[in-house]
Chains A and B, each alone.
Chain A
Amino acid sequence: MRVSRTARVILGCVTAAGLAIVYVPLLLVLLNSFNADRSFGWPPSGLTGRWWRAALHSDGAREALLTSLKAGLAATAIALVLGTLAAYAVHRHRFFGRRTVSFLLVLPIALPGIVSGIALNAAFRTVLDPIGVGFGLFTVVVGHATFCVVIVFNNIGARLRRIAPSLAEASADLGARSWQTFRYVTFPAMRSALFAGGLLAFALSFDEIVVTTFTAGPGTRTLPIWIYENLARPHQAPVVNVVAALLIVVSVVPVYIAQRLSSDPAGGRL
């Protein structure tokens, strides 16, 4: 298609403007973490490293980070096991209700977080409370795992669709046992999808706040919950801003790894 020069220039400008809008807020958070003005007035009255030092010594933030890491790792581990099993069943077997199963598996991500959140909250209160299991890290992990499973299921499923089943059949014809086929043929072909799915699942859990709000007890704070609680407190604002800036910087890491790992430029699927 021939696009005229004027149209090219206009489209290029729209794209540049779009990208600018995407990045300006993030860059401002980075800049504001050095802003000497407590309420981030614009333009900054001066630059300071004070808030970064304060954030490093914030016990609340550090504890919340630790909780987030624990919850994310546990939820991802559960999701990797269950999601892989489900993807295998749906993509390598034919059975009655296959489409229903794959539809139901995606529900936790299709429905709004608030609906999932209060559903889990109601269920935990009715079922777990009477047997003495209170709200805490455990309930957060259960909540996160429900939607992390979907991510792993989608990633592994997409990969299984591309690996020809004849590969495994050839391996069997050559005399390999089931687990040998898995160990030497299927697993190596799936490794990067497992990694991408796990990474995405972890990132989703790390960022999740809605389901977390309704499944965490009063004493359990993940990093997003900590940020949210401190958002409206003026004296905490600069520290919150540093944590936000740190999260923006750190977010480049998974993107980089995913890019290195896969030919899929999106680095996985949601």
Chain B
Amino acid sequence: MPAAPTPGSRLRLTALLAPPLLWLTLAYLGSLAILLLSAFWATDSFTSDVVHTWNTDNFHELLTTPVYRTIALRTLSIAVAVTVIDALLALPMAFVMARIAGRRWRRPLLVAVLTPLWAGYLVKAYAWRVMLGEDGVVGAALAPFGLHGPGYGTTAVIVVLAYLWLPYMILPVYAALERLPERMLEASADLGAGAWRTLRSVVLPAVRPAVLAGSVFTFSLSLGDYLTVQIVGGKTQLLGNVIAAQVTLDLPMAAALSAVPVVLIVCYLAAVRRAGALDSL
């Protein structure tokens, strides 16, 4: 950080800051403001045109209609389930990558985990659609055991979302485990702790912020998702696709509905921030 500002540096700062802030305000914050405003407008039920009369009916409807509550709760539980599954998978995988595999294997393993991130969201969701389909691989693999695949539905949504966001969880956990000093583990062993005790009292507390950081991705990405639901969700309705369905019919209602994931995410970010996880993002 440089020393006290001089008139010259102030001029330069303005020149640096003006274009990106102008862009951010005009293109993004302005749009969000328009969206928020339109949540307080109404829709003509015949023409689907937005009527500019100020009211809070949309929020009233949102809070009193049981369907919306059910959908919000369902979305929330799916996001939590996805986060828990990813954490349970990422912890052992990241531990092997950072602590058990030899040095030469670390980088290849990390690349192997990261490469699928580039393969594209839609391609991966699509791959699962084919696998879970009627003649798909999942069904064929389970048939010998007398089982059926989950088909398209809530289970499929959880599986595919957990699959899509897994690298986002592995990455921070791996980084935290790799940073953990060997001395700490040795000290724990010297004090007589077995592997389990060390894991519980030393390793887990050290990776907790990283797990929380990863959960920011898995949680908020799942909350806002609507395409996976459309691709493998069958008839399942989540917040995302209810919003998407309302956009053309009733923009004010869609705007009010989209406040739900935003509020949930902001609350989650605030909670995670208190736990000190945002620094390890």
Do A and B come together as binding partners? yes
* Complex: A157 Cα to B214 Cα, angstroms: 20
Cross-chain contact of A110 among B92, B220, B227 (Cβ < 8 A): B220
Residue of B nearest to A43 (CB): B140
A149 near B20 with CB under 8 A, answer yes
* Complex: A231 Cα to B125 Cα, angstroms: 11
Task: Check: B38 CB closer than 8 A to any chain A CB.
Answer: yes
Cross-chain contact of B119 among A122, A127, A247, A270 (Cβ < 8 A): A247
Quick one: which of A95, A111, A203 has the most chain B CB within 10 A?
A: A111
Q: What's the least CB distance linking A154 to chain B, in Å? A: 9
B13 near A42 with CB under 8 A, answer no
- A51 contacts across to B, CB distance below 8 A: none
B123 near A248 with CB under 8 A, answer yes
B96 near A15 with CB under 8 A, answer yes
Knowing A111-B265, A267-B114, the reply to whether A28 touches B130 (Cβ < 8 A) is yes
A110 near B5 with CB under 8 A, answer no
A227 near B100 with CB under 8 A, answer no
A86 near B20 with CB under 8 A, answer yes
Cross-chain contact of B123 among A19, A29, A203 (Cβ < 8 A): A29
Task: Check: A123 CB closer than 8 A to any chain B CB.
Answer: yes
* Complex: A40 Cα to B1 Cα, angstroms: 59
Q: What's the least CB distance linking B25 to chain A, in Å? A: 9
- A121 contacts across to B, CB distance below 8 A: 247
Task: Check: A88 CB closer than 8 A to any chain B CB.
Answer: yes
Task: Check: B99 CB closer than 8 A to any chain A CB.
Answer: yes
* Complex: A11 Cα to B94 Cα, angstroms: 10
A1 near B99 with CB under 8 A, answer yes
Selected interface stretch from B54-62, B63-71, B150-158, B253-261: B253-261
Residue of B nearest to A8 (CB): B100
Name B96-125 residues within 8 Å CB distance of A.
96-97, 99-100, 106-107, 109-116, 118-124
**How many residues of chain A get a CB closer than 8 Å to chain B's CBs?**
88
B115 near A251 with CB under 8 A, answer yes
- A265 contacts across to B, CB distance below 8 A: 106-107, 110-111
B32 near A119 with CB under 8 A, answer yes
Cross-chain contact of A112 among B135, B198, B231, B261 (Cβ < 8 A): B261
Residue of A nearest to B35 (CB): A119
Number of residue pairs spanning A and B whose beta carbons lie under 8 angstroms apart: 254
- A15 contacts across to B, CB distance below 8 A: 92-93, 96-97, 109
Q: What's the least CB distance linking B186 to chain A, in Å? A: 8
A42 near B116 with CB under 8 A, answer no
B35 near A42 with CB under 8 A, answer no
Task: Check: B30 CB closer than 8 A to any chain A CB.
Answer: yes
Cross-chain contact of A244 among B28, B123, B171, B231 (Cβ < 8 A): B123
B113 near A1 with CB under 8 A, answer no
B224 near A113 with CB under 8 A, answer yes
Residue of B nearest to A104 (CB): B24
A115 near B35 with CB under 8 A, answer yes
22 intermolecular pairs with C-beta atoms under 8 Å apart: A2-B189, A14-B89, A18-B93, A22-B112, A22-B116, A25-B163, A26-B119, A81-B19, A86-B16, A101-B21, A105-B24, A108-B28, A114-B226, A114-B261, A122-B255, A146-B23, A149-B23, A210-B226, A224-B121, A227-B126, A248-B119, A251-B115
Known pairs A93-B5, A114-B243, A248-B119. 6 more at Cβ < 8 A? A28-B127, A32-B130, A118-B35, A118-B251, A231-B231, A244-B127
Which 5 A-B residue pairings sit nearest by Cβ, starting from the closest? A112-B224, A123-B31, A25-B127, A251-B118, A41-B135
